[in-house]
Amino acid sequence: MTTFVTIGGVLQFGILIASALVPQVLDWRTELRKLPTLFAQLVWVHGGFIVLTIAGFGLLSIASARELASGTALGRSVCGMIGLFWGARLGVQIVYFHPQEYLSSTLLKLGYHALTAVFTYLAIVFSWIALA
């Protein structure tokens, strides 16, 4: 289990790398200028807090993998939160997002499907540990 948690931590940092490309791929600078200033600021602030959350989950998963996989109440609770977070993100990816018009190259399509696979891994592994 410790290895699965550590892999999950590494994958979460990989998600951050992919996330850094989103503003450029979706041309946020141009698109957000069309919104009232407060709305654009909210997008950037919420995005920043999501980045901090994912970085925290990744750091916890790598630095405390043994503790998270140990089966203690705290370890299971943290894994449950991480599993819930990624399960919800997976649900949004599958049910809510409709990115087809932005998946204009093979690389973008591959990246989108790779992220879906990573979200699935994270949701399953951390939920499994939480419930085991």
pLDDT tens profile 6-19: 999 999 999 999 99
pLDDT tens profile 37-46: 999 999 999 9
pLDDT tens profile 31-75: 999 999 999 999 999 999 999 999 999 999 999 999 999 999 999
By residue range, what is the domain housing residue 92? 2-131
Percent of the chain with pLDDT over 70: 100
Contacts of 124-127 with C-beta under 8 Å, sequence gap 24+, read 124/83, 125/4, 125/5, 125/7, 125/8, 125/83, 126/5, 126/8, 126/79, 126/80, 126/82, 126/83, 126/86, 127/79, 127/80, 127/83, 127/84, 127/87
**Total structural domains within the chain:** 1
